[in-house]
Amino acid sequence: MSTTRFRRGASSASNTSDAVHEAAEAALAEGDNIEDVALGVVMTSPSYDIPEVIDVLGTRLPSVPLIGSTTAGEFTDEGVTEGGLVIALIVSERLSVASAVADGVSEDVFGTVQATVNNLPAVGDMDGEHVAAITFHDGLTGKGEEIALLTRQLLGGVPLVGGSAGDDLNLAETTVFTDSGASSDGVAIALLAAEEPFGLAAKHGHTTLSDTYEVTRADANVVHELDGEPAFEVWQREVAKTARDTYAIDVDDLDPSDDRFAILLTQFELGLKTKDGGYKIRWPGMTNSTDGPLTFATGVPEGSEVRVMHSPKDEQINSAREAAQASLAHFEGEDVAGALVFDCVCRGLILEDEFGTAVDAIASELESPLAGFETYGEISMPSEAATGYHNTTTSILLFPA
């Protein structure tokens, strides 16, 4: 019986064509037939020319379905790169794949997701008992939750994993793409089908710091009030003691232009309470003023319950390890081929030089190849999940061998 193999390659070459060729060559193991490559996942710095990436891969890997995204950093189990390009190849005769991309998500989320789904085969027509989907979208729309929920709904509830595209923290333009084209304002989806189930898991390294607050006034991703008080003032009050005792920072004296301001907004995020008693993390890192609101990377609904959270470095590393363990639990000791990992750029900001330690923790648990990138938001929606858009979270898709 044939098996599924997970291959990966990376490059930091300055020239786009050289980087693609180098990464693809590293990913293609001796004895692999290009005809058996079922899927290519491309994770690339925005410094490369994306149309050229697609063209070169079209020549190097003809007829291989692709899905790709620009990033805020890339990694494999062999190392972390910044400003590079990583390619993951799923080599399998038992995996059925289709991919599509559509444009216009900032103005019309429903129409764009629907157009993408309409360009895919029906889920029931995919060749395999178990179906899952990978999705990437423009990371600057601030609509990740809405995109994830609509994608899940329009695909009939299949497990969903992926993330918001990055752009090396330039916050200017992100791009998602498939072998058929690219969009800087779009949604890309790859539909996967196999006879064995996929493993999905997500974990964050945050603990609660405050009591529960109600979001009493909000406009999309801008939270104006918590329990009727200015949101920033609540956050400032709740983090003050820990910021002083742990990081020797006086939040009352911070100016938004101070680098420590952004660091604290990443160390102390908000946890949005979920129906299962857990928390989805929401990053207030778009806040640029101490006057009133907190501004988030995605929407925070009015009426929701939130708590201020804290995320020390060691907990970020532990949660990455726990995500790997949770993804393996789906396989009950059976062999796995490898993993795609979507990790938030915020984790990188928290861990700094120790980000590679978190990647190593995942790799040591999985004992299989992995490839991934730093996102502007992560998606993990197993079949039983009602919602699943996250910040500062590790999201893993594990492929059966």
Amino acid identity for residue 353 in this structure: D
- pLDDT value at 77 more than 70: yes
Question: In this predicted structure, what is the pLDDT of residue 2?
Answer: 62
Which tokens in the block code for residue 305?
């319950």
Contact 351, 316 (CB under 8 A): yes
Question: In this predicted structure, what is the pLDDT of residue 236?
Answer: 96
- Of the CATH numbers 2.40.30, 1.10.20, 3.30.70, 2.60.34, which one belongs to the domain with range 207-310? 2.40.30
Query: Which residues touch 277 (CB under 8 Å, ≥6 apart)?
Result: none
- pLDDT value at 1 more than 60: no
- Tell me the three state secondary structure of residue 376: coil
pLDDT digits (tens, 9 = 90+) for 297-331: 888 999 999 999 998 899 999 999 999 999 999 88
The rounded distance, in Å, linking the Cα atoms of 207 and 305 is 15
Question: In this predicted structure, what is the pLDDT of residue 388?
Answer: 86
The rounded distance, in Å, linking the Cα atoms of 265 and 270 is 9
Give percent above pLDDT 70 in the chain.
Answer: 98
Question: In this predicted structure, what is the pLDDT of residue 87?
Answer: 98
pLDDT digits (tens, 9 = 90+) for 40-60: 999 999 999 999 999 999 999
The residues facing 191 across adjacent strands are 98, 133
Domain assignments of the chain as residue spans, ordered by start: 5-203+315-400, 207-310
Q: What is the CB neighbour count within 10 angstroms for residue 13?
A: 15
pLDDT digits (tens, 9 = 90+) for 138-178: 999 989 999 999 999 999 999 999 999 999 999 999 999 99
